[in-house]
């Protein structure tokens, strides 16, 4: 299947214009063919994860960011749900606790980075420290301004020590968010997902967009790329995310570890 993931990658140093990027892009693909391809890719991702676990050399960190109702939870379920839970863990980052606030903002993040052999998904992340923190002026500007470089240094360290980093921004429009909020409010089983405070964040859409654009532009690196994932067509979103992860893991050229015993000498009775 002809799926170009590279055009969704943010080139280092280039600040993306999010309004100019269609959020309902489907890459010219058909839904039924995409579903079939997704099943194939999920099976491949599963194999790669087993290899990563067996080899115990590499780890993968997937950072997920989006506006509310951007589909972080459903992406996690669709892409990581089919994998062996022994090798995958999800960490959600909420507003920091009073203990976390007593430390630097990366303290709680570093602690959750994946050990070798495993995949870790960040549902929100240290990027909140240049997103919500910036939009709501939770720290003075001179402090959050320094964070782009601090985040780059931190990710460089984590990468150099054996963790592959992929960062995914799930891209939706303001109109689409409204539609999703309406749907949530129309369904009692979805009310728990709605927080009246989400409307306060929604009112600052433009500020969040600028904050996302700067974070993506300043922190997309060859070794820790940001991708802008068009997220309004969920089948395309799932396909693209899975393809990116499969390509990334294949790039590690992993192999199963060689046994430290002679297989020929083993006698099974
Ligand atoms: P989500 O909205 O991600 O689906 P949720 O609704 O279960 O999750 P929320 O209570 O909305 O959970 O938790 C996420 C909230 O925590 C967001 O409003 C986010 O901006 C906030 N948050 C995360 N990290 C930080 C941070 N470093 N500083 C301040 N607020 C943060
Ligand atoms: Mg929320």
Q: Is 150 left (phi over 0), alpha (psi -120 to 50) or beta?
A: alpha
Residue 176 alpha carbon to ligand 1 centre in Å: 20
Mutate which of 75, 128, 191 for ligand 1? The one with the most ligand atoms within 8 Å of its CB, which is 128
Mutate which of 76, 77, 95 for ligand 1? The one with the most ligand atoms within 8 Å of its CB, which is 95
Residue 130, pLDDT above cutoff 90: yes
Q: How confident is the prediction for the chain on average, in pLDDT?
A: 97
**Residue 1 pLDDT class (50, 70, 90 cuts):** confident
Scan for tokens 């994998």, then name that residue.
83
Region 192-200 average pLDDT: 95
Region 79-84 average pLDDT: 97
Region 155-171 average pLDDT: 98
The protein residue with its alpha carbon nearest to ligand 1, atom 28, reads 95
Residue 16, pLDDT above cutoff 90: yes
pLDDT of residue 171: 98
pLDDT of residue 156: 98
CB < 8 Å & 24+ apart, contacts of 41-47: 41/239, 41/242, 41/243, 41/246, 42/79, 42/82, 42/242, 44/246, 45/79, 45/82, 45/83, 45/242, 45/245, 45/246, 45/249, 46/82, 46/83, 46/84
The protein residue with its alpha carbon nearest to ligand 1, atom 16, reads 94
Pairing state between β 119-123 and 59-66? parallel
Residue 51 alpha carbon to ligand 1 centre in Å: 33
Q: How do residues 228-266 score in pLDDT, each as one tens digit?
A: 999 999 999 999 999 999 999 999 999 999 999 999 999
φ/ψ (deg, to 5) at 210: -60, -40
Region 104-129 average pLDDT: 98
User: Hey, where are the domains in the chain?
Assistant: 6-254
- Adjacency order of strands within the sheet including 163-171: 88-92, 119-123, 59-66, 163-171, 226-230
The protein residue with its alpha carbon nearest to ligand 1, atom 20, reads 132
Of the candidate CATH numbers 3.20.20.140, 3.40.50.300, 3.90.920.20, 1.10.3720.10, the domain formed by 6-254 belongs to 3.40.50.300
Mutate which of 94, 100, 105 for ligand 1? The one with the most ligand atoms within 8 Å of its CB, which is 94
Region 10-28 average pLDDT: 97
* Other Cβ atoms within 10 Å of 30 Cβ, number: 11
pLDDT of residue 267: 96
Residue 100, pLDDT above cutoff 90: yes
φ/ψ (deg, to 5) at 59: -140, 160
Residue 125 alpha carbon to ligand 1 centre in Å: 9
Region 214-231 average pLDDT: 98
Percent over 70 (pLDDT), the chain: 100
Between CA 61 and CA 113 the distance in angstroms is: 7
The number of CA neighbours under 13 Å toward the Cβ of 203 is 6
Residue 90 alpha carbon to ligand 1 centre in Å: 15
Q: What angle do helix axes 31-55 and 234-250 make, rounded to 10 degrees? A: 30
Residue 197 alpha carbon to ligand 2 centre in Å: 8
The protein residue with its alpha carbon nearest to ligand 1, atom 31, reads 95
pLDDT of residue 255: 96
**Residue 28 pLDDT class (50, 70, 90 cuts):** very high
């Amino acid at each position: 299947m002809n799926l170009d993931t590279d055009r969704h990658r943010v080139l280092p140093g280039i600040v993306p214009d999010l309004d100019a990027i269609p959020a309902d892009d489907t890459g010219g693909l058909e839904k039924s063919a995409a579903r079939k391809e997704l099943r194939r890719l999920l099976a491949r991702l599963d194999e790669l994860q087993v290899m990563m676990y067996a080899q115990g050399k590499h780890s993968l960190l997937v950072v997920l960011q989006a506006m509310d109702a951007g589909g972080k939870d459903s992406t996690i379920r669709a892409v990581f749900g089919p994998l062996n839970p022994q090798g995958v863990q999800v960490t959600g980052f909420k507003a920091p606790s009073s203990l976390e606030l007593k430390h630097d903002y990366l303290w709680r993040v570093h602690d959750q980075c994946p050990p070798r052999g495993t995949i870790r998904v960040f549902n929100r992340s240290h990027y909140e420290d240049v997103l919500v923190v910036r939009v709501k002026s939770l720290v003075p500007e001179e402090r959050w301004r320094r964070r782009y470089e601090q985040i780059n240094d931190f990710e460089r360290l984590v990468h150099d020590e054996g963790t592959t980093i992929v960062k995914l921004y799930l891209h939706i429009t303001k109109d689409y968010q409204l539609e999703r909020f309406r749907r949530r409010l129309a369904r009692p089983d979805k009310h728990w997902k709605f927080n009246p405070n989400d409307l306060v964040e929604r009112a600052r859409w433009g500020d969040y967009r600028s904050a996302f654009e700067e974070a993506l532009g300043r922190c997309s690196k060859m070794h820790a790329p940001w991708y802008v994932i068009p997220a309004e067509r969920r089948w395309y979103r799932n396909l693209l995310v899975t393809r990116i992860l499969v390509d990334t893991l294949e790039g590690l050229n992993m192999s199963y570890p060689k046994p430290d015993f002679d297989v020929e000498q083993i006698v099974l009775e």
